[in-house]
Amino acid sequence: MLLKQGAPLNEALGAKKVAVIGAGIVGVNCALALQMAGYQVTLIDKQGIGEGCSKANAGHFATEQVFPLGDPSLLLALPKMLLDPLGPIALSPKHFFKAIPWFMQFFNNMRKNKRVSNSAAIKALNKHAIEYYKPLLQAANAEHLLISKGSLLVFEKTKHSDVMAIHQHYQQAGIKVKLLNRAQVLDVEPNLHANINYALFFTEVAHTGNPSHICITLADYAKSLGMVYQQSAVESINQNISSIVVSTTTEQLRFDQCVVATGAWSKNLLKGLGYSLPIEAERGYSLSLALGKNEQPLLSRPVASAERKFIITPMENMLRLSGTVEYAGLDAKANNKRADLLLKNAESVLSKLPEPVSANNNEKNERWMGCRPSLPDSLPVICQAPHHDKVFFALGHQHLGLTQGAITGKLIEQLVSKQTTDIDVTPFCISRFN
Ligand SMILES: Cc1cc2nc3c(=O)[nH]c(=O)nc-3n(C[C@H](O)[C@H](O)[C@H](O)COP(=O)(O)OP(=O)(O)OC[C@H]3O[C@@H](n4cnc5c(N)ncnc54)[C@H](O)[C@@H]3O)c2cc1C
């Protein structure tokens, strides 16, 4: 095979050459942060920019989600949920045995001391996560892609005392949140269903009208600064004394350093380097409801249902319903029935549906499945590889990859540049699994 230099055009400038593998929201942010810091970056993806899990997600900068997913209250409900193929959480019988080791670690992380330390680490990442996006979107002339109107978590049947306890739980975690009664909910979002009795209003969160566009816009901005994009599937990474060799299906590319940001697909690349990564594809679905001509989205901000475990986000020319968790492995075919079920849920949360759906015109509605890269402790991996000083990992952001994308990019840039990081990255080191 021909040994080719990565990004030869910028060699003359003497910049260090860095490969970022994976062009989801996490990889794009790493690539942009590094390119802005003066590195010559080559961003590599096998599918395209923002074509993986970052493509059609709920677009919620969910900084209020500071509690790990492994919650002991799940234990009682889990067996029923897992046996129902169309329930909010489903485990495919074919995938059952493969998933057992991941679930063992997931249950282990439900212990109180683990939940407290994992929650503290998520909080540190989420605290200023939205602020890290602002200068990037401003520089890319795309501030409109971040809409700061908060979000609602709505309740239909949950008792007032339980809603109050959840409210208090968020307050104690330092999250800015207001408890609204039915009349107040309808003041904030008039098109919600009369079923809704209470809502928690998270006033400091944000959303985007187009998650895929954020990836493409930030990547375009990085390209305008000299970043090179290459569409290739990476098969292995090798570090030698002076460089990194990234082998794709057709060639070998040489770099000074490399960042692995391959989301749910990361296991094999890391295995090749000698690291174990207990990652599961937590498959989620979205159904994007087209709006009628000149029809306004029915909501101004994301509305999540606490009981139905899904979220509705107003987006450009559509209303997107997203949610559900399915453990079926990376390669199983999407089960679009799961996406269609989201519509049933929306009927109970909204007082009306967008015009085309009400007119039984479902052709334009897009169904999508994405593989959330989930680790059993709900923390991402953001670190320098312990045994490879030229390799860095930015992966495993589970339900929060969009939220934590920009801060992850900054932290990776600081690690690559051997600077002090803005927050302590010790909890995110891969050594916790090795
Ligand atoms: C239904 C749903 C709703 C969600 N809603 C939200 C939300 O509202 N807010 C939020 O913060 N998060 C949300 N998420 C989670 C979020 O989408 C993910 O955490 C995020 O997209 C992960 O980004 P990533 O860059 O790590 O992975 P990806 O976007 O999956 O990118 C990884 C990339 O790596 C590439 N790749 C993999 N292997 C190779 C290889 N060997 N060679 C070359 N390229 C490779 C892939 O092609 C892919 O493009 C949601 C997820 C789902 C499924």
- Ligand 1 atom at minimum distance from 26 CA: 25
Nearest CA to ligand 1 atom 9: 60
| pLDDT tens figures, 232-286 | 999 999 999 999 999 999 999 999 999 999 999 999 999 999 999 999 999 999 9
| pLDDT tens figures, 348-407 | 999 999 988 877 776 678 999 999 999 999 999 999 999 999 999 999 999 999 999 999
What per-residue confidence (pLDDT) applies to 214?
98
User: What is the pTM for the complete model shown?
Assistant: 0.96
Is the per-residue pLDDT at 126 higher than 50? yes
Measure 58 CA to ligand 1 centroid, in angstroms.
12
User: Ligand 1: which residues within 6 Å by Cβ?
Assistant: 21-27, 44-47, 51-54, 57-60, 62, 233-234, 261-265, 269, 284-286, 322, 370, 372-373, 395, 397-403
Is the per-residue pLDDT at 6 higher than 50? no
Select from 43, 54, 374 the residue to mutate for testing ligand 1; criterion: most ligand atoms less than 8 Å from CB.
54
Is the per-residue pLDDT at 12 higher than 80? no
Per-residue pLDDT, averaged over 158-182, amounts to 97
What per-residue confidence (pLDDT) applies to 105?
96
Domain residues of the chain, as ranges? 3-54+212-279+377-433
| pLDDT tens figures, 197-237 | 999 999 999 999 999 999 999 999 999 999 999 999 999 99
Per-residue pLDDT, averaged over 73-98, amounts to 83
| pLDDT tens figures, 288-325 | 999 988 888 899 999 999 999 999 999 999 999 999 99
Measure 397 CA to ligand 1 centroid, in angstroms.
8
What per-residue confidence (pLDDT) applies to 77?
74
Superfamily of domain 3-54+212-279+377-433: FAD/NAD(P)-binding domain (3.50.50.60)
Scan for tokens 């292995």, then name that residue. 236
What per-residue confidence (pLDDT) applies to 83?
76
What per-residue confidence (pLDDT) applies to 1?
39
Nearest CA to ligand 1 atom 33: 22
Measure 414 CA to ligand 1 centroid, in angstroms.
22
What per-residue confidence (pLDDT) applies to 411?
98
Maximum C-alpha span of the chain: 68
The rounded distance, in Å, linking the Cα atoms of 126 and 117 is: 14
- Ligand 1 atom at minimum distance from 302 CA: 8
